[in-house]
Structure 1
């Protein structure tokens, strides 16, 4: 890919907002009833009903591992509980019960602390998949394209196993639709990486798509047609990537001055937390995750800095 993007399929005028008063709604999921479950800083989650009413659940304030709970990825479970990847200083995977209790689920893998747990999901076989952005503490030390110590962890039958330990700031991961592979956002190397998945773990690592200037991939999700949708912080771009790696720009609200500030900081080795909570002139709030309505006519976007969830129509485009 080049450093410039073509005309997006949608504009900011196509964006509507759902709910209000959210705090760092980084991760978004759609419920069976058409509502949303989103992460909520220092509490746990917020549930948004189809009519936009918000109920926040979790202790106030929530403490996990001796520090403030900072939910990043979340994974709603069939029993009504929600698994939470805590990217705060306490780290680990935590479970917010249906009774709103907060308990520790996983804190380490093979003796390595899950210090900056970024993402968690469970699959149809009951395995849990976890990404850890970096083993650096604090995690801001790994805001670099020269550090690759992020982890991919699989928990099966109660045992946590590290499948990869050299990811450049590990972010969301997803199993491929046929279950034969796994893809992951390597945020600071600006790429989506694909692995084959077999009984012995991950193999045949290759780049599925390489992004350019300003595009730092974060949340990813496959649609039913097998296209991977990628949200990018900083550039505030949403991409749809075909299985062959061809990327189509769906949405952007791009502030060139913000991109220049962040790219300069990255090149000079001084990138910090402030660069991801600076939205510049963008109105999208640093989009960080995506989920689809059951009929896939709409997509919902979580963000680092927004106070609502963004909703957009799913365009047909060239790939559908």
Structure 2
């Protein structure tokens, strides 16, 4: 797979009628799930039928799902970008209730991402303790990672510059996380207790790359997407970082970088789409029966792009449940 091996014609947009589908997951049934600003997760079946899981139209500011977990019993746990922050659960009856609002004595603010690993432990990422209505920082390393397992909930790592999505490699021995405004992908050794050690920088990115979502393929390659520039990378098991696609307006990216350096970059400007094909790509998931269809979540559109990969994705723990 060489640089820029994807072209605009490789993308299709079969899934529509969403509201800010920032995080996307897939299941073996062919269903595609996406976080939705209508306080829930929208499921699109292979025949195109759409079902909103959850939903609370009477309190749109309270619940803004981003990352989410698909549980065995059909319930959902979501990371809340809304004013109430924390992790929330959508029961099988559609009711939304608190799941985790405090960890290690700290009230949990807005949560960017939550994910379940192969051992059914739940990991969550708080990007920053700072309010989201103030400018982003490239130096304020106050993001942290939490873990919920049989022993309860605890913070397992901190000191991140805008903690974003996380994953564990297919072997279960390394933990990876994107630091969006640190412009890097960071990894740790992971032990059986869920403890993280030996922090390392796996990839450092240049101007215009703000790593957001990530996912592993079955060969151990790590796929990373960047907001603002719609860049798609694959990091090989050997550590080679290959750019597969990008889509952006240079003047807009230059202004994003200028504002970020000056401490003037707000989320509203980051969310704006300035591209020709993709709509501010924020996550990716491997789906389809062969797990070779890659679906792209985004923060600026109402539809999900997809393309075909030569490599199948590593199956997530929920693959046969969803």
In the superposition, the TM-score normalised over structure 2's length comes to 0.91
User: 2: distance between equivalents of 1:282 and 1:275?
Assistant: 17
1:274 counterpart = 2:273: no
Partners of 1:19 and 1:54 within 8 A in 2: no
Q: CA deviation at 1:290?
A: 0.6
Q: How does 1:201-240 map to 2 (within 5 A)?
A: 201-240=195-234
Corresponding residue number in structure 2 for 1:174:
167
Corresponding residue number in structure 1 for 2:299:
304
Corresponding residue number in structure 1 for 2:20:
24
1:128 counterpart = 2:122: yes
User: 1: distance between equivalents of 2:64 and 2:237?
Assistant: 33
Corresponding residue number in structure 2 for 1:37:
33
Counterpart among 184, 190, 198 of residue 177 in structure 2: 184
User: 1: distance between equivalents of 2:216 and 2:115?
Assistant: 14
Work out the number of aligned pairs and report it. 308
CA separation of 1:225/1:142 partners in 2, compared to 1, >3 Å: closer, same or farther? Answer: farther
User: 2: distance between equivalents of 1:52 and 1:217?
Assistant: 30
User: 2: distance between equivalents of 1:52 and 1:252?
Assistant: 28
Deviations 1:149-186 (A, max 9, x none): 00100111261110112111000000121111200000
Corresponding residue number in structure 2 for 1:116:
110
Which 5+ residue runs of structure 1 have no aligned equivalent? 1-5
CA separation of 1:200/1:96 partners in 2, compared to 1, >3 Å: closer, same or farther? Answer: closer
Partners of 1:287 and 1:303 within 8 A in 2: yes
Partners of 2:165 and 2:178 within 8 A in 1: yes
User: 2: distance between equivalents of 1:281 and 1:32?
Assistant: 32
Higher relative contact order (CA 8 A, sep 6+): 2
CA separation of 1:73/1:263 partners in 2, compared to 1, >3 Å: closer, same or farther? Answer: same
Counterpart among 290, 293, 307 of residue 295 in structure 1: 290
Partners of 1:61 and 1:68 within 8 A in 2: no
In the superposition, the TM-score normalised over structure 1's length comes to 0.92
Q: CA deviation at 1:52?
A: 2.5
- Report the 3-state secondary structure (helix = DSSP H, G, I; strand = E; otherwise coil) of the residue aligned with 2:134: helix
Counterpart among 55, 58, 66 of residue 54 in structure 2: 58
User: 2: distance between equivalents of 1:56 and 1:193?
Assistant: 34
CA separation of 1:24/1:158 partners in 2, compared to 1, >3 Å: closer, same or farther? Answer: farther
Corresponding residue number in structure 1 for 2:309:
314
User: 1: distance between equivalents of 2:68 and 2:261?
Assistant: 32
CA separation of 1:46/1:200 partners in 2, compared to 1, >3 Å: closer, same or farther? Answer: closer
CA separation of 1:235/1:220 partners in 2, compared to 1, >3 Å: closer, same or farther? Answer: same
Instruction: Please tell me the root mean square deviation across aligned C-alpha atoms, in Å.
Output: 1.7
User: 2: distance between equivalents of 1:32 and 1:62?
Assistant: 33
Counterpart among 43, 49, 64 of residue 47 in structure 1: 43
- Report the 3-state secondary structure (helix = DSSP H, G, I; strand = E; otherwise coil) of the residue aligned with 2:181: helix
1:263 counterpart = 2:280: no
Partners of 2:223 and 2:234 within 8 A in 1: yes
User: 1: distance between equivalents of 2:238 and 2:132?
Assistant: 33
- Report the 3-state secondary structure (helix = DSSP H, G, I; strand = E; otherwise coil) of the residue aligned with 1:172: strand
- Report the 3-state secondary structure (helix = DSSP H, G, I; strand = E; otherwise coil) of the residue aligned with 1:266: helix
Corresponding residue number in structure 2 for 1:194:
187
User: 1: distance between equivalents of 2:244 and 2:150?
Assistant: 40
